Amino acid sequence: MIVVPSEAVLRTSNSLRNYSDMDRIHKLERDVLGRQKYMNAVIEEGNSPIQQFFSGATIFITGGGGFLGKQFIEKLLRACKIKKIYVLLRPKKGKSIQERLQFMLTDPVYDMVRRTQSDFADILQAIEGDISELNLGLSDKDYVKITDEVDFVVHMAATIRFDGPLRDATLANVRGVRECVFTYVSTAFTHATRDRIGTELKEQFYPCPVPPDQIIELAENESKTVEDIREE
């Protein structure tokens, strides 16, 4: 005999499964918040070398609207007494840089900061620019402001389209780095060439297979040639 569950039974079974999933999620959330309690206690003391290092600092950040960038900004705001954070943004999809910054700050990642520092948004200021442009696309006025006021530059912006035009990737990810004095941040790769797969990489400077300035010059002057380069 074959028994076919009724629609009501299936709905009940699915509901129980969903409740079970939610229970696991809530437990994970409680565990994370429990660990966060001890971290918050350390933050309250304000004695860590990182807190002292960034105390009263003005920081210029590229890539602040990305996944890692938002986490970094949130931690700075929550754990350090930051004077000012300039965030490089470009107008996108009809939104100004101010609108993009305000939207970015509605992200749930800032909920804890929002509860403890209601005026945290006053510390952040959007600066218009583009990492694929010379001088990061900054206006003369903003360039002077950044060079005069900023203590640290953290460069996290990049194109992450692995199938995009090589010229765009070069100008953003190679020349963009040259335009910054930067702290290197990577979510995934370092020296990602095939000959290094499976090898041990040490924390040291490695020679680049092709001089970066040569790659940039090729992208600037031979745009059609570069865009035609594709792996077969």
Q: What is the pLDDT of residue 50?
A: 87
- Asked if the model's pLDDT at residue 17 lies above 70, the reply is no
User: Of 3.40.50.2000, 3.40.1440.60, 3.40.50.720, 3.40.630.30, which CATH number belongs to 47-188+202-227?
Assistant: 3.40.50.720
- Asked if the model's pLDDT at residue 153 lies above 80, the reply is yes
Highest mean pLDDT of the ranges 38-47, 136-145, 199-208: 136-145
Query: What is the C-alpha to C-alpha distance for residues 13 and 116, in angstroms, rounded to an integer?
Result: 41
Confidence of residue 7 (pLDDT cuts 50, 70, 90): low
Element (H, E) at 11: helix 7-45
Q: What is the pLDDT of residue 227?
A: 61
- Asked if the model's pLDDT at residue 4 lies above 50, the reply is no
**Mean of pLDDT values over 141-145:** 93
**Mean of pLDDT values over 167-196:** 69
Indicate the domain borders of the chain.
47-188+202-227
DSSP class of residue 151 equals S
**Mean of pLDDT values over 85-99:** 93
Confidence of residue 89 (pLDDT cuts 50, 70, 90): very high
Query: What is the C-alpha to C-alpha distance for residues 102 and 122, in angstroms, rounded to an integer?
Result: 11
Q: How many CA atoms lie within 13 A of 194 on its CB side?
A: 0
**The token pair that represents 94 in the structure block:** 């009809």
Q: What is the pLDDT of residue 225?
A: 60
**Mean of pLDDT values over 100-111:** 92
More confident residue, 189 or 94: 94
**Mean of pLDDT values over 22-43:** 74
**Mean of pLDDT values over 194-208:** 73
**Mean of pLDDT values over 199-221:** 76
Quick check: 218 and 166 in contact, CB under 8 A?
A: no
Q: What is the pLDDT of residue 213?
A: 80
C-alpha pair distances (Å), 224 with each of 162, 172, 229, 230: 18, 17, 9, 12
Q: What is the pLDDT of residue 9?
A: 47
Confidence of residue 126 (pLDDT cuts 50, 70, 90): very high
**Mean of pLDDT values over 11-39:** 68
- Asked if the model's pLDDT at residue 32 lies above 50, the reply is yes
Provide the mean pLDDT of the chain.
Answer: 79
- Asked if the model's pLDDT at residue 200 lies above 90, the reply is no
**Mean of pLDDT values over 10-34:** 66
Query: What is the C-alpha to C-alpha distance for residues 218 and 137, in angstroms, rounded to an integer?
Result: 20
